[in-house]
Amino acid sequence: MKRSLSPLHSYGAGRSANRRIAIVAIVITALLAVAGFAAWFTGRGEQQDDARRSTSTASPSPSESAPKPSAGTGSVPKPPQISEPLAHAKAAALMLWSYDTRATTRDQQLAGMNAWMTRETKYTDWTSITAQVPDPVLWSRMGDNAQHATATITEAHYPSAFKQALAEDPAALTKAYIYAVTVTGKQQIAWKGGGGGAENRSVTLAVQCRPSHDCALVAIAPRVAP
């Protein structure tokens, strides 16, 4: 059975939990100051679908840094010049759900993903992004099978908890300008020999869109917010 690079895998959730909780807590405190939504966003995602977990292997190190730009970015697209949160979240989800091990090394995949991240390090949760990428051994095996994936986006919306939080405290957004966006779509995976399949996807992203600046990716939530 072929294994796929699928977002929302819980690679090393326990090992990176402390760092992720600390970073996300800063993000949510600055953004919302609403206890209920903060508790949701900092959850461990332990109720994720077992079928997705079945493809998990050893996780990247929690301290894994992005490869230097000299590694190139392979098939990973450059971040778009978009200043609208919903549109940027759609583009980011498309990037996360697409890959090509035939033309892209694991280091290139990570370098390409890192280019989408906000440079405001006190907010960024790089660990939640690297957790989406299989370990070097699995990536190599995927490459041996010429595994690659494309995706289509169905829709994007602000989660109800996020909209409620903004209604209660609109000014909270103006410190970090970080938006929660839930994106749905479908991922199509293929490998040599004519193998392939498709799966519906959903993800909640945190994106930063400061006025007069292009948006950037902040984090991937451990669970999908309706």
Q: Encode pLDDT of 56-65 as tens digits.
A: 333 343 445 6
Dist. CA 205–CA 210, nearest whole Å: 16
Q: What is the DSSP letter of 65?
A: P
Confidence at residue 92, expressed as pLDDT on a 0 to 100 scale: 98
Confidence at residue 167, expressed as pLDDT on a 0 to 100 scale: 87
Model pTM? Answer: 0.75
Confidence at residue 122, expressed as pLDDT on a 0 to 100 scale: 87
Confidence at residue 69, expressed as pLDDT on a 0 to 100 scale: 53
Dist. CA 223–CA 226, nearest whole Å: 10
Helix (H) or strand (E) holding 201: strand 195-208
- The parts of the chain modelled with pLDDT lower than 50 are 1-3, 7-17, 19, 21-23, 25-26, 28-63
Reading across the β-sheet that carries 148-157, which strands appear in turn?
99-100, 148-157, 178-191, 195-208, 216-220
